[in-house]
């Protein structure tokens, strides 16, 4: 099993969600995040006083998948989230030792 994590632009979330649903992904966890990479932050001016805001808002998507699906899911996220501009985000995959479904107590692939 793998955990696919994507950090994407907030405005791409709807498209990414639809694309994942179309690809058969049945669940995900989405949270608000903030951070920066090459995009850097932005500046705000209040009565002439300038402030730089280093962290910009992002959305984090986390999906648990079978080993076989991880490459496909990563591709779907990348395609749907891509605008071609700096700040589009990143997607990475890490191995997962075990998963348990709280309702039934199932473990492993059956809990996905």
Point out which residues bind another protein (CB under 8 A). 44-51
- Both tokens assigned to 65: 């998948």
Shortest Cβ 41–another protein spacing (Å)? 12
Shortest Cβ 93–another protein spacing (Å)? 32
Which of residues 52 and 104 has its CB atom nearest to another protein in the complex?
52
Residue where the block lists tokens 């998948």: 65
Which of residues 46 and 110 has its CB atom nearest to another protein in the complex?
46
Handedness of CA 24, 26, 32, 36 (dihedral sign): negative
The three-class DSSP label of residue 2 is: strand
């Amino acid at each position: 099993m793998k955990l696919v994590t994507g950090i994407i632009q907030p405005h791409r979330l709807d498209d990414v969600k639809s694309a994942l649903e179309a690809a058969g992904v049945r669940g995900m966890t989405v949270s608000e995040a903030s951070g920066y990479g090459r995009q850097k932050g932005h500046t705000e001016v209040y009565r002439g006083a300038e402030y730089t805001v280093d962290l910009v808002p992002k959305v984090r998507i986390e999906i648990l998948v079978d080993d076989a699906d991880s490459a496909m899911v990563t591709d779907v996220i990348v395609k749907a989230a891509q605008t071609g501009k700096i700040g589009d985000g990143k997607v990475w995959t890490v191995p997962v030792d075990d998963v348990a479904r709280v309702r039934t107590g199932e473990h492993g692939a059956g809990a996905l």
